[in-house]
């Protein structure tokens, strides 16, 4: 089997600060990598490869969070950032794994072109014009390198972020701290076990599809919510984009669940919507990449994995609604 570059995508946060691109207040290397994976062209499913090479400064929580997001165990190799790290990842993959598919996730948090992440999938169905690896040596920045590789491969990356609409200004000074607080107030405590419960539904939008009555149950709970049967269930993934807003509100100070206190302190009120993903499946989502009140009933929204709140020294993540601008 020959392994080659199959597809790739670059994700850039849609935020600006003082005229330049910047990380959004609820974004980090993990959410950007997920953004790149979900922007991969072609198939709607994330890559199935069990081998992932991380290039750049990814938080340690990816050791468990990435398998959780992908929905299966993965072998993770870490590499330094920039072009040297990317080359080392490619060399290691080619020599150690030979004919096995793999995924490269590269992140560049503060390059001259702003923060961005790239997802590059290598597998048995290579793109018709493979990248010329020898020509990329010496280019600074893994994401820049990835972009160059993609261009050479003739695979125009699907970009999400600024192209999706006007850049959304964020005041970095008012952003969340990059280091989550270890202590939270008693009332704000969300047990880790509860957070990990149903993560496949909340991160990947997995639902139980009932073969008896054709309804979808979300979040998954092992039995059909409509007919009660548990013997005809199969796993289905709800669409990430195109949900219809059926209710919208803005939570101001005092109205938020206590785990969101630090966010409201730092950033002020935020929007919340009830969105219908498919007929009969509605989900309450915090709104991101938009001003409070900007997303209204009838709007179409996408869902993105973002930071929710810090808890026990770690950021917790979930899907939020983002406007789908024409």
Provide the binding-site residues for Zn ion, judged by CB under 5 A. Answer: 210, 212-213, 224, 226-227
CB of 217 to Zn ion, least distance (A): 8
SS3 145: helix
CB nearer to Zn ion: give 66 or 210.
Answer: 210
CB of 210 to Zn ion, least distance (A): 3
CB nearer to Zn ion: give 254 or 279.
Answer: 279
d(CA 225, CA 238): 16
Task: Quote the tokens at residue 1.
Answer: 């089997």
The secondary structure of 293-318 as a DSSP string is T-S-TT-EEEEEEEEEEEETTEEEEE
Could you tell me which of 90, 58, 85, 78 has the C-alpha nearest to residue 139?
85
CB nearer to Zn ion: give 104 or 233.
Answer: 233
CB of 237 to Zn ion, least distance (A): 18
SS3 195: helix
Could you tell me which of 14, 92, 25, 2 has the C-alpha nearest to residue 55?
92
Beta bridge partners of 248: 273
Could you tell me which of 78, 88, 69 has the C-alpha nearest to residue 30?
69
The greatest distance separating any two alpha carbons of the chain, rounded to the nearest whole angstrom, comes to: 61
CB nearer to Zn ion: give 62 or 210.
Answer: 210
CB of 221 to Zn ion, least distance (A): 12
d(CA 257, CA 187): 9
CB nearer to Zn ion: give 212 or 251.
Answer: 212
CB of 156 to Zn ion, least distance (A): 42
CB nearer to Zn ion: give 144 or 210.
Answer: 210
Query: What's 176's DSSP letter?
Result: P
What is the dihedral angle through the alpha carbons of 139, 50, 78, 22, rounded to the nearest 10 degrees? 60
CB of 228 to Zn ion, least distance (A): 7
CB nearer to Zn ion: give 212 or 278.
Answer: 212
SS3 123: strand
CB of 214 to Zn ion, least distance (A): 7
């Amino acid at each position: 089997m020959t392994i080659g570059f199959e597809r790739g995508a670059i994700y850039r946060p849609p935020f600006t600060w003082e005229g330049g691109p910047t990380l959004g207040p609820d974004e980090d290397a993990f959410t950007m990598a997920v953004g790149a994976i979900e922007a991969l062209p072609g198939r709607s499913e994330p890559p199935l490869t069990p081998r992932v090479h991380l290039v750049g400064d990814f938080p340690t929580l990816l050791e468990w969070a990435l398998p959780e997001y992908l929905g299966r165990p993965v072998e993770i190799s870490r590499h330094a950032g920039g072009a040297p790290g990317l080359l080392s990842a490619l060399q290691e993959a080619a020599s150690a794994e030979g004919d096995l598919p793999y995924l490269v996730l590269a992140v560049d948090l503060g390059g001259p072109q702003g923060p961005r992440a790239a997802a590059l999938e290598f597998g048995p169905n290579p793109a018709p014009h493979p990248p010329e690896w020898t020509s990329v040596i010496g280019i600074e920045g893994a994401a820049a390198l990835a972009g160059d590789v993609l261009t050479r491969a003739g695979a125009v990356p699907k970009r999400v972020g600024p192209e999706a609409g006007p850049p959304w200004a964020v005041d970095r000074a008012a952003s969340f701290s990059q280091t989550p607080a270890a202590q939270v107030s008693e009332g704000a405590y969300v047990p880790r076990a509860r957070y990990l419960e149903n993560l496949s539904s909340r991160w990947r939008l997995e639902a139980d599809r009932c073969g008896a009555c054709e309804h979808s149950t979300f979040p998954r709970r092992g039995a059909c919510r409509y007919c009660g049967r548990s013997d005809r269930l199969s796993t289905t993934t709800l669409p990430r984009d195109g949900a219809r807003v059926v209710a919208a509100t803005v939570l101001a100070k005092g109205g938020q669940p206590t785990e969101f206190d630090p966010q409201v302190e730092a950033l002020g009120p935020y929007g919340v919507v009830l969105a219908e993903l498919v007929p009969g499946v509605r989900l309450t989502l915090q709104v991101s990449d938009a001003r409070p009140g900007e997303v209204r009933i009838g709007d179409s929204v996408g869902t993105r994995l973002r930071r929710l709140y810090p808890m026990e020294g770690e950021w917790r993540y979930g899907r939020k609604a983002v406007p789908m601008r024409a």
